[in-house]
Structure 1
Amino acid sequence: MRQSFIFANNKKYISLQKPLKNKLFPLFWCLALITVGACKMRDPMGNRIGVVKGSYHNTTARFNAYFNAKEIFRKDVSNFESGYTISYSNVLPLLKLPDEGASSGMAANMDQIIEKCSKVVTRHKVSKWTDDSYMLVGKAYFYKGDYFDAAQTFQYIYNTFPNKDLKEEALAWIGLSKMQDKMAEDATAAFEMAEANIADAKKSKRFVYTAMAQYYINRKSYDKAASSLENAIKAIKKDKLAKINYSYVLGQIYEKQGDYAKAVESFKKVQGLRAPYEMELAAKINAFRLTNLTEGGNTSDLIRKLNDLLDDEKNSEYKDQIYFVLGAIAQRTNQPDSAISLYKLSAANTGRNLNQKALSYSQIAEIYFNRKDYDKAHLYYDSTRVFVQRDHPDYEKIIERDNKLDDLIANIKIIDREDSLQHVAALPEPERTKIIDEQVAKIQSKIRESKVDQSQYSSSYNTLAINRFNNAESGGSSWYFYNNNAVASGYNEFIRRWGNRQLADNWRISSQGVANTKIFDTDPGFDLKSIDAAQPDKIKAFLVKNLPLTPAKLDSSNQIKQNAALKLAAIYSDDLEEYASAIKYYELALNTPPPLHNADEIIYNLSYINELAGNKEQSAAYKNRLLNQYPGSSFANALRNPEASQVVDITQTQAEQQYEMAYKDYLNRDYEKVIASNKDFQLSKANTYLKSKFAFLSALAVGKTQKVGSFEAELKKVQQEYPNEEASKQAGQFIASIDNNRAEFDSREIALEERSIATATDAASISKRYEDQRRLEDQKREQELAEAESKSYFKKPAPNASYVLVVAVNNATANLNRIRLGIGQFNRTLFADKNYTHNSKTINNETQLISVNQFADMETAKAYYKKFMEYRNDVIGLPDEKYTVFFITTDNFARLINQTTVEEYRDYFRINF
C-alpha cells in the first residue's frame, strides 16, 4: 500500500498515521497488560484473575449492562427529583426520597435496572463492576419501594466486599431502607454503626452524614441532626450548591432547637455564598425574623422590612412566602383574623410551589379548628389535602383531621336531612305537595343551568387547553403536565371559574349547585346528570319516594339518625374532647325511637362524659338510670366496681401519651411490655386511629420475640380490625414481604431477628436467588402462555396484524371529554407526524371504550403503549382501578362485546404482552 505524504511547516506527516494508531491501539493495550502480568489483576473481592479474562469481563460488564442500567437510573431519579416540589417554610429535604406513588411510577424502569445488573452479577462475577452492580440493584429496589430487598442487598454488599467506602455507603442505605420501612430501631443501629466506622472511609463520608442527618430530622432528633449535618458540610469539597442547601437546612434545624443566634448565622452564610435568588430571599426573611426574636425587636420593624420585600418587583414570584411569614407573625401576636387574610394572600399568590399553598391552607384550617369552626376548618383541610405532600411534617395529622371532619360534617348533614324529610312527611298533604312542587321547579332550573355551564366550559376549556399546550413562550417543557407554570395557570383558572372544589364524579353539576334545602341534596342516589328537566313527574316521584310516610319508613329514618348521632358523639368525645356536643348527640340517639340495642353503653357514656364536663347531678342521674334499668349489664358492674372494670376511660391526650410511652418501650427493646400495654389500650376509650397504631406496634413487638407464624397472625389481626387505617396498610406491606421471602422467614427463630449489622449473613446467596427467581419466572410465564392460548376466546395475532390502543372505562355514564382531550393533546405533542385518531363507543351499556387508531405492527403499538402508560395519570386523570389500557389487534377489538370480554382480554394481554 502506497503511503501519501503531507507537508506542513516543513514537517512530514503520514496521512494514515491517525487511522493506523486507532487500529493498533487495542492490540498495544493488550500487550501492555500481558507485560504487567496476570498476577496483579484482582476482582472486587480481592481474588486474583487472569488479564485477558479480567479485561473481557470488565469491558463486557461495564458497557453491555452496567452502563445502560446506570443511565436508566440516572435519568429516572433525575426526572423524579426535578419534579419534587419544596416549601422553604418546612425543613428542606437533604435527600429527595420517593413516596409510594413515586415509587410505583418508577418501578418498571427499576425492574429493568435489576435485570441488567443481575446479568453482570451472574455472568461476570470476576469483573470489577460486580460491586457497583450490586449497589445499583440495591438502589433500584429502594426507589421502587421494595425496602426489604433493598436492605438485604445492601447487607450483602457490606458482608462481601472489602472496599471501606462501599461498606459505609451500604450501611447508610440500610439505614434509609429501614427508615422508609418504619423500622426505627434497625435504622438507628445501621446509622450508629456507620458513624462508629466513618473514619475508615473517604469518599462516602458526605453521603453517610447526609443520610444520618435526614434520618434524625425525620425523627425530630434535632441535636443529632445538627451534628451530622455539620459533619456533612465539612465533607463537601467543591459542590457549592450542596453547601448552600445544607447551610440553609442547618439554619432551620438550629431554629427547631431554639438556638436562634446560630440559625441567623447559618442563614447569613447562605446569603454570603451567593445562593440562587429564591433560597437567598428565604434565608434573608428567616434572618430578619429570627434577629427580631433574638434582639427583642418590635414586630413593626420586621413587618416593615417584609413589606419592603413585597414592594420590590424582583420578589413578585415569591410573594407567597412573604405573605406566609407575615401571617405567621400575625398569628404569633394573637391576630387570627389578620393571619387568615395574609395566609389567603399567600395561597392566592402561589405559582409553581403548590407545597406552599398546602402550608398556607393548613394554617388557616388550624386557626378555624382551634376556634371550633369545623365547617370552615374542614374546607381548608380539604384544600390542604389536595396539595400536601407526604414529606410534610404534619401530613398524617392533616389527613386524620380531614377524615374526622369529613365524617363529622357528613353525619350532621344526615341528621339534618332526616329531620327535614320527617318534617315534610308530617305536614298536611296540600302543604307537602306545594313544597315538593317548588322543589321540582328549582331542580329543573338547576339542571338547565348546569347543562349551559357544561357547554360554555367545554368551549372555553378547549381554547385554554390549546393555548397552554402549545405555548412556546412558557420556557418549559412542551408537554403540559410537566410544565409547572401551565399547571399552575390551569389550576388558578379552574378556581376562578368553579371555586375550590373537591375532585369527584360529575363535579360541575354536583349537589353544591342545587338549592340548599337540606331535604334532598345529600341523597347519594340523586344524580342530576341522569334526570331530564322535561320530566317533572319523574323528579317528583323520586322526591316522594324518600319521604318517611309509613311507620316502617319512619323507623328506618330514625335508625339512620341514631347511627349518625352515635358517630358524632364518638368524634366529639374521643377526638375533639367537646363534651357538651358529645352529650347532645348521645342524648339524641338515646331518646330517638326505636330503642337502642346498646342503650346501657350509651347511658354509661353519658354518665362518664357528664362527669368530665363537671355536670355532677346529670352524671349521677345517668348512673342511677343505668343501675335501675340494666342492673346485670357489664357497664353497670363497671360503675359499681370501677377498679375491676375492663373499660379504661382516658382522654385523647392521655391516649397519645400512652402510645408515646409504648413507642419508647419498643425502642428500648422492652417488647413484652409493649404487648401487655396494647391489651389494656385496646379496651380503652381511645380513638380508632391510635388503637390501630398501638396494635401495629404490638405486632412488631411480637415479630421481635416470636416466630413468623405468630407475627403474621398479629399483622392480619391489625388488617381485620382496622381495615381503613394507615396501620392496616403497613401491616399489609409486611405480609407481602413475608410472602415474597417465605423460606427465609420460616428459617428464622425470631421473625424480625435482632442481629448485628456486621455479622448478619442472610443475603449471602443473593446471586443464586437472582438466577432461581429468573428461572422460576420464565417457567411460570411459559405455563401461563400455554394455558391462556388454549382457553382464550381471542385469536393469536397474525404476523401482518394491525393494532389499536384501547382505554376501557368501567362506567357507562362517565364523561370522557377530559380523557379525549388528554389523548388528543398527547398525540399532538408526542406523535405530531403520525396523524393518530381516536374514537369512542359504549359496549353492553356498562363499559366505554376509547380507541386510538391505527398501528401497523406490534412493535409500533408497544412503543406507543409504553409512552402512553408513562403519561397515563396526566392524560386520563382517573384512579387506576376505574380504567384499563391495552393494545389489541383490529380483529380482536371487534370481539370486545361486553365488560366480561374486556376483563378476559385484559388477562390475555397481561400474560401475552
Structure 2
Amino acid sequence: MTTEYNTLYNGNMALEDGRARLNEEYRDDYWNILPVERLDFEEDAMLPGQSKNETFSRSEEKAVKAIQKHSMNIKGKEKNPKMDEAYLLLGKSRYFDQRFVPALEAFNYILYKYALSDKINVARVWREKTNMRLDNDELAIENLKRLLRLEKLDRQELADATSTLAQAYLNIKVVDTAITYLEVAAESTTKNEERGRYLFIKGQLYNTLGYKDSANITFDRVIDMHRKIPRDYYIGAYVEKAKNFDYETGDKLAFAETLSMLEEDRENRPYLGRIYHQVGEYYLATNNDSLGVAYYNKSLRTERSDKELNARNYKILGDFYFDNAEYKSAGAYYDSTLTNLKVDSKPYRTIKRERDNLVDVIYYEEISKVDDSIIHLVNLTETDRLAYFESYTDTLKIQAELEFERQEAEARAQDMLSSNNGFNVDTKASAFQSRDEAAKNANTFYFYNSTTLAYGKNEFMKIWGDRKNEDNWRWSNMNFSASTGPIGVSAAEGLDLTADIFQPQFYLDQIPTEQKVIDSIVKERNYAYFQLGVIYKEKFSDYELSKSKLQALLESNPEERLIVPAKYNLYKDYELLGQHGEAEIVKKDIITNHSDSRYAEILSNPNQGLAEDINSPETIYKMVHDKFDAQQFQDVITLCDKNIRDFEGDDIVAKFALLKATAMGRLYGFETYRSSLNEVATSCPNLPEGQRAEELIRDVLPRMADSSFEDDESGKRFRVIFQFANASDEEIDAFEERLNAQIKKLQYYSFTTSKDVYSPTTTFVVVHGVDHLVIAEGFDGLFKKKDKNRITKPYFVISSNNYQVIQIHKNLDSYLSQNKS
C-alpha cells in the first residue's frame, strides 16, 4: 500500500509533469512527416548523474526508492506485487530523460523477473520503443510483430504497439506498411489526441506516396474530430488539404470560401501565419500576383517563431521578383531567407549561391538606372528640363507642407497631453476641489474624463510610442515614430519653401555639361549594359532580357572593344531563342566586318575545339602563365592588361586579373599585392578567382603583413645574394654559369643557385643550401685564391626568413642599413 499510494504515486505524478512539460516545449514541424511520439531527441552527451529534466530525475528517484525500500524478495520470489510497476516507472523515467541504455535494462528486467505481471505487454512495447531510439529498428519490428501474433492486447496496448511498429517502419522507409499500422493504432486508441495525430501522420504519408485523394479523405477524418483534438492538427489538416487542391479541376470558389472561413475564425489567430501562406499560394496559382504577394507579407508579419514558414515565404517572394526580373527586390528577400535557415544546410547553400549570383546584376542595374536618368536629362532641351524640375519641386512643396502640418498637429497634441497630465495639475486647486466635483469625476466614464483620458494617452505614448491605429499595432516592427518626412521638414525649424531643395535651378545646376564627363557616364552605362547582357545569358538563362540589353548597347555607339563581344553574345541569344534568321544576320556581320577577331574564327570554324585554337583564351592564358613561371613579371602584367581588354565578358578575364595581381605582388611588393587582390575580389566576387582573392585577403595577407627582420644569428638556413641592377639577362646568365662552375669544385658542400627577380630593375643570383652563418659570410673564402675564374663580385648574406621578408615587402634598403649599423 505504501509503495502504490505514496512512492509510486508521487513518482508517476512527477513523470506526468515532465511529459506535460515536454509536450509544451515540443514544436511539431508540419513541413515534414510528424513523428509518432512527441519527443525531441537531442544527441548531447551527458555525464553520469546528469539529467535533462528535473521531474524525470524525481520520478526515477521515487522508482529507485520503491525498489530499495519496499522490495520483498524472499527465497528468490518477489512478494510485493507493485515492483513491476516500480521498474516500469524507472524505465519510463530514463527513457524520457533520453538515457536509453539504462531504460532498456529496466524494461528487460521486468521481462526477465516478472513474466506473470499484468504490465508485461506494456513493458514489451516500451522496450521496443527504446530499441528504436537506439537505432535497432529491425529488432523492434521483429519483437512487436511477435507480440501482436502471440498475445491478446487490450485497446490501448494494441494502439501503443501498432503506433510504435508504424514508427519503426517509417524509420526504415517502408511507408505503405506504416500506413496500415497507423490505421490500426487510430482505431484502437482510447485517446482522441493520439487518434488525431495518427490520422494526420497517415494523411501525410499518403501525400508522400502521391495518393492525394486518400490523403484528403484522411484529413477530413481529422477535421471531423474538431474540438476533440488539439487545434494544431485541425488547422494542419486544412492546410494539407489546401496543398492538394487541384487548380485545374477543383471548385475554386468553394476552396476560396474555405480559406476565407479559416482566416476569419477568431480561434485560428495563432495559426494565421500558416493560413495566410496558403491563401498566398492560392492567389499565386490563380494568377492574382498582387494579392498573393500581399498575403505572403501578411504571413511574415503575423508569424515570428516558425522559421521554416518565414524562410518559405521569403523564398517564394524572392523567386517571384526574380522571375519578374526585379533582381534588387529578389536579393533583399533572399537575404531574409538566409537569416531563417540553418547555416551551412543544403537549402542555405542553395539560396546563398542564388543570392551571390545577384550581386553583380544588382550592381550593374543600379549603375545603368542612374546613368540612364542622367543621360535622359542631358538629352532634354532647356525648356523640357525646366518643366520637369518645376513639376518635381511642386510635388516636393506639397509633400513638405503636408508633413509640416502633420508635425505641427502632433506637437499641439503633445503639448495638450503634457498640460493635461494629472501630475501637472495645480496641486492647490486639486487639494481644495469640492467634494461634489470629485464625486462627479469619480463616477464619470474614463473616456469622458478629460484628465484621466489625457493621462492615459500620455502614458501610452511613453510606453508604446506613436502607433498607428491598425492591426498588430503591438509588434515591434509596427513602431512608427514621428518622421522627419522625405525632405527633412521639421516643425521646430519651420517651413522654408525658398530653400534650394525647392528650386528647379538647384537641380538644373547639377546636370553635367562637360562633354568629357558626359562621355564617361555613357561609357560607364554601356559597360553596365554589356555586363548585364552577359550575366542574364550566362547565369540566369534570361535570353530575352539579355538580348534587350545587348541591343540597347549596340544602338548607343559603344566602345570598339565591346562591339564584337556584344554581337557574339547577341548571336548566342538569338540561337537560344530559336530566332535563327536574326542569328544568321549577326553571324555574317561578325565574319564580314570583324574577320580578324577570334569570334569570327569561332563562327567560321564551329567544329574546331577552342582548346586547340592558338587564339583561344585558355591557350593564351597558359602562355602568359608560363612567362609568370619564368619570372617575366613585367611581361605578364602587360599581357594580362591586353587580354583583359580582348576577352571582355569571358570568365577567363578573372583568371588574368588574379594572375596580374600575383605578378604585381611579386614585382612591387605587399601593398601593391593587397590592393590588386582587393580589386579582383570586388570586380568578380561570384567567380572562383574572386573568391580565391577574398580567401587570400582574409587568411594569407595577415600572415605576410609583418615586415620586421629577425636576428640573422638565430637563423637556421642562409642565402648568399649577388645583386644586379639594370643588368642584361645575358650578363646575369653568364655570371650564374661561372658561379655554378665554381660551386661544382667544392667537395664538401651541396650548394645550388637560382635567379630571382626582386624589382623591375634589380635581380638576384642566389646561393642556396648554406647551413651556417659563418660559412655564408666567408663564402668567397671557399674558393682557391689562385683560381683565375674565382668569384670576386660583392655579395651579402641573409637568413632564409629575412629573405622572404625582403621579397614580400621590397625593403632591401632597410635590411642593408640595419646590418651596417
- The higher-RCO structure (CA 8 Å, 6+ apart) is 1
Q: Report if TM-score (shorter chain) is over 0.5.
A: no
TM-score by length of 2: 0.41
Q: Which structure has the bigger radius of gyration?
A: 2
